[in-house]
A and B are shown apart, each in its own frame.
Chain A
């Protein structure tokens, strides 16, 4: 008889010990509908906290230019610039700690797993030293609040968020025939338009053309970001005229036609197929049962992309509850699962001084192949087990498992107890034997955390 609580813990949470009551689909879904307790317990910043630092940075830049030959003024301006950069980086670091603390402490861990899924789907990464706080702000303001909303709501929140407008260069796109475009002789940047179609909605295999990308880019003109207010719609940047995307004509003033286009894209059959497949691949298997994908896709189409219904459809299928662990834990999931199994709490992670948090958590995460909020491109992290369970990836996991637990804990846990606590019924006889045969507690703990059973979900 498969242990559903254990399957839920591995596949839809961060492993054992299981969060209380999170054993079947109904409870998991109920956990998504309640208040976002982890966001309250371990808060992170939003756009409003970032903007003052960006204004300071801009002012310092201008002061430095204005300083001219005045060396003292120039030095003061440079110092102010650095202070502003440091402040945004500090926001980002606190949010990173909160990201770990929430995943470790959550009693509704599927919420954190879905947040990670959508944050990956809508990947943004910092591209210069002033941008370190943006990825977490996108998660906080556009993803966490829309987890159970229609997908169109999430898509609109993401596309209109400064983090995305900056990351995919929308802030550099001007209608060539717009008032500003004509004045400055500048033009379109297609990056956001392309990735909305290729990555965020239809998928790269879908039947859209370069013309659709270009029309979408023209439609998106006007969306921008200013440090004074954050998101802004600037009519003087808008390319005049209607735009035709996938055969639908969008016209009218302001942001309304953009929102209409995003709503249409969110419910397209190609989008349903793309995201049903992506959800099944992420949560269940690198090669999911086509019937499972079909059910999720059908529910997406039936409900117009209602994300609560879509997740419910995924959880409704026996294939999603198969005993066999078909996925490899990605490095973040591995580390959170290890910290939970070891008994490290969110509060302990939050209390780590910056240098320790970097040395014990974020740097090793990069060594395992998943530098924090720095996916290699807007398509996010790879899914296949083979992308993570490499000699390099395993060496980094093993090194971390050997070195870090004893730095985080006053005393290492007794390894036999750890096997049961971390693996439950998945503790194979061979691992139990090897733990007993280890020369040191340190190596025994390392073996448990490096074992295939612990690294699969």
Chain B
């Protein structure tokens, strides 16, 4: 089921970020000396992306039998051990060839068995292990990384969009924003509004930030149209990353392809492709060269096609990495195989690495975070092993 990805309903604003169901949140953290010049963009793919369809193991003898319908559609040869990429990502082939696009296959968070989107996303964003009850850790791993870096200016971290992005919630302050608000108040009205909200901290802080964000006129509106949401999102993020911002996070939805996946997966993949291509173009070669974009999803999908030409919630998934700071042109992660005994619970791709270990690897390479900090503060309980060679 495409829970959030379908442009639908009664809204009539097509170009507003707030009106785009697939665009939830952007979070930005402004630079600090400790961050240097490298940029990290984390994209949460909500709904569980079918990694087996995005990067297809055509070499695996069991593949075609498990997915007779999906395996029949044409895909793009990657020229690496007969991995093939989904046809909707054709625009990314040049990046693959240039070594700016890579993948980690059969990876997953420690989340297992209940296959709930909401719990799976909570665990992905909290960065916790199976030893911690869900919900027990309320902050997100990107926020904890900011806390671990000296000199991050928390007051200049903010999020753009509609809802909370848990990955960046926590002690380090984060702002939420969609670039279509104006707050048409007189100077006097602004002061009075602050006064009225003053005694209720929740309102005081929200109002103060809303006023600050509409004061400077920093919101560049992109062109409208259906694609306006992606363009607006990327232009906003890229504009800040080209300046002092070093870390950005946002989410893309629409990956929950329970039926008719042949068509249903094209839409979110096209959006992801547009995000990557436009990000590269807007950042320009110099900044793109110092950028790593990691797209992660809450879990993978069943190895078999289901009864409605789609796939159901599974376990092992796929991470997408793009950017000039990525060592692309490779599919990383030990391949578990798809044979009968190789599947997790006889139904899902077996995870062979912890997705958190790859995120930790990226942080270590980009920002020099040491292993103790990553294993204790950022991802408590993680053994940061088995992940490497993804970031230059």
Where the two chains meet, the residues of A that have a C-beta atom closer than 8 Å to any C-beta of B are 89, 92-93, 96, 125-129, 131-132, 167-169, 172-174, 176, 181, 184-191, 194, 198, 204, 209-210, 328, 355, 358-359, 362-363, 366-367, 369, 371-374, 376-379, 382, 385-387, 389-396, 398-399, 402-403, 428, 430-431, 434, 437-440, 443, 446-447, 450-452, 455-456
- Please, how many angstroms separate the alpha-carbon atoms of A292 and B182 in the complex? 42
Cα(A137)–Cα(B93), bound, Å: 46
Residues of the B chain whose Cβ atoms lie less than 8 Å from the Cβ of A455: 203
Interface digits, B157-173 against A, CB 8 Å rule (1 contact, 0 not)? 00001111000000000
Binding site for A on B (CB under 8 A): 1-4, 6, 8-13, 16, 18-19, 21, 24, 113-119, 134, 161-164, 175-178, 180-186, 188-189, 192-193, 195-200, 202-203, 206-207, 209-210, 213-214, 253, 258-259, 306-308, 310, 312-313, 345
Knowing A127-B2, A363-B11, A439-B188 are in contact, say whether A194-B116 is a contact too (CB < 8 A).
Answer: yes
Question: In the bound complex, do residue B206 and residue A434 qualify as a contact, i.e. CB atoms below 8 Å apart?
Answer: no
Do residues B6 and A127 form an inter-chain contact, with CB atoms below 8 A?
A: yes
Which 7 pairs across A and B sit closest by C-beta, in order of nearness? A186-B307, A172-B308, A187-B307, A452-B200, A391-B209, A395-B181, A395-B210
Let me know if A93 and B10 touch, CB within 8 A: yes
Does the CB pair B176–A210 fall under 8 Å? Answer: no
In the complex, 17 of the A-B residue pairs with CB atoms within 8 angstroms, ordered by the A residue number, are A125-B3, A129-B8, A191-B258, A198-B116, A358-B11, A362-B12, A367-B13, A367-B178, A379-B118, A382-B164, A390-B164, A390-B206, A394-B207, A395-B181, A430-B198, A437-B192, A452-B202
Measured CA separation A447–B197 after assembly (Å): 9
Please give the distance in Å from B196's CB to the nearest CB on chain A.
5
Q: Tell me whether A392 and B184 are in contact in the complex, defined as CB-CB below 8 angstroms, given that A366-B11, A377-B118, A378-B3 are known contacts.
A: no
Contact status A366-B210, CB under 8 Å: no
Residues of A near B183 (CB, < 8 A) are 395, 398-399, 402
Asked whether, in the complex, the Cβ of B21 is within 8 Å of the Cβ of A374, the reply is yes
Q: How far is the CA of A209 from the CA of B345 in the complex (A)?
A: 13
Residue of A whose beta carbon sits closest to that of B213? A391
Enumerate chain A residues within 8 angstroms of B116, measured Cβ to Cβ. Answer: 194, 198, 204
Q: In the bound complex, what is the Cα–Cα distance between A218 and B183 (angstroms)?
A: 53
Complex CA–CA separation, A455 to B207 (angstroms): 13
When the two chains form their complex, are residues A391 and B210 in contact, meaning their CB atoms are under 8 A apart? yes
Chain B residues whose CB sits within 8 angstroms of the CB of A190 once the complex forms: 312-313
Q: How far is the CA of A374 from the CA of B307 in the complex (A)?
A: 27
Asked if A359 and B213 sit within 8 Å, CB to CB, the answer is no
Q: How far is the CA of A434 from the CA of B186 in the complex (A)?
A: 13
Q: Given that A392-B162, A430-B195, A450-B196 are known contacts, is A438 also in contact with B189, CB under 8 Å in the complex? A: yes
B164 contact set on A, CB distance < 8 A? 382, 386-387, 390
Q: Which listed residue (A403, A430, A439) contacts B184, Cβ 8 A?
A: A403
Contacts of A377 in B (CB 8 A): 3-4, 117-118
Interchain CA distance A190-B1 in the complex, whole Å: 11
**Which of A132, A168, A379, A399 is the one whose CB lies under 8 Å from B9?**
A132
- Nearest A residue (CB) for B204: A452
> Shortest CB–CB separation between residue B176 and chain A, in angstroms?
5
Residues on the A chain within 8 Å of B202, using CB: 328, 385-386, 389, 452
Contact status of A447 and B19, CB under 8 A, knowing A169-B308, A385-B202, A391-B210: no
| CB of A40, distance to nearest CB on chain B (Å) | 24
Tell me whether A373 and B192 are in contact (CB under 8 A): no
A131 contacts B10, C-beta separation under 8 Å: no
Q: A198-B116, A366-B11, A391-B177 are in contact. Are A371 and B21 (CB under 8 A)?
A: yes
Q: Which residue of B lies closest to A369 (CB)?
A: B162
- Output the nearest chain B residue to A390 by Cβ-Cβ distance: B176
Taking the nearest CB of chain A, how far is it from the CB of B140, in angstroms?
14
* B258 and A443 contact, CB distance less than 8 A: no
CB distance from A363 to the nearest CB of B (A): 5
Q: For A187, what are the chain B residues with a Cβ–Cβ distance below 8 Å?
A: 306-307
Q: How far, in angstroms, from A390 to B183 measured CA to CA in the complex? A: 14
Contact A446 to B185, CB < 8 A, known contacts A377-B4, A391-B209, A430-B199: yes
Q: How far is the CA of A317 from the CA of B197 in the complex (A)?
A: 31
Contacts of B16 in A (CB 8 A): 363, 367
Given A191-B258, A198-B114, A398-B193, also A128-B203 (CB < 8 A)? no
Most A Cβ at <10 Å: residue of B119, B198, B200: B200
If A366-B13, A373-B9 touch, whether A194 touches B308 (CB-CB below 8 Å) is no
How far in angstroms is the closest Cβ of chain A from B121? 10
Q: Check B308–A186 contact: CB distance below 8 A.
A: yes
**Which of B12, B176, B213, B312 sits near A189, CB closer than 8 Å?**
B312
With contacts A189-B308, A387-B163, A431-B196 taken as known, whether A169 is within 8 angstroms of B258 at the C-beta atoms is yes
Contact A371 B9 (CB under 8 A): yes
Question: A446 to B181, alpha carbons, bound, how many Å?
Answer: 15
Are B8 and A434 within 8 A (Cβ)? no
CB atoms of B10 and A92 under 8 A apart: yes
Having A127-B1, A358-B10, one finds 11 other A-B pairs with CB under 8 Å, namely A92-B10, A96-B10, A181-B307, A187-B307, A363-B13, A366-B13, A373-B9, A392-B210, A395-B183, A398-B193, A443-B185
**Most B C-beta atoms less than 10 A away, residue of A93, A129, A385, A394:** A394
Closest partner residue, chain A, to B186 (CB atom): A439
**Interchain nearest-CB distance for A266 vs B (Å):** 21
**What is the CA–CA distance of A374 and B9 in the complex, to the nearest angstrom?**
7
Q: How far is the CA of A378 from the CA of B345 in the complex (A)?
A: 26
Q: Which residue of A lies closest to B212 (CB)?
A: A391
Contact partners of A439 in chain B: CB under 8 A:
186, 188-189
Q: Which residues of A contact B11 (CB under 8 A)?
A: 358, 362-363, 366, 371-372
Q: How far is the CA of A328 from the CA of B13 in the complex (A)?
A: 26
The chain B residue sitting closest to A359, CB to CB, is B12
Question: Across the interface, which residues of A come within 8 angstroms of B180, CB to CB?
Answer: 367
- By a CB distance below 8 angstroms, the chain B residues around A366 are 11, 13, 18-19
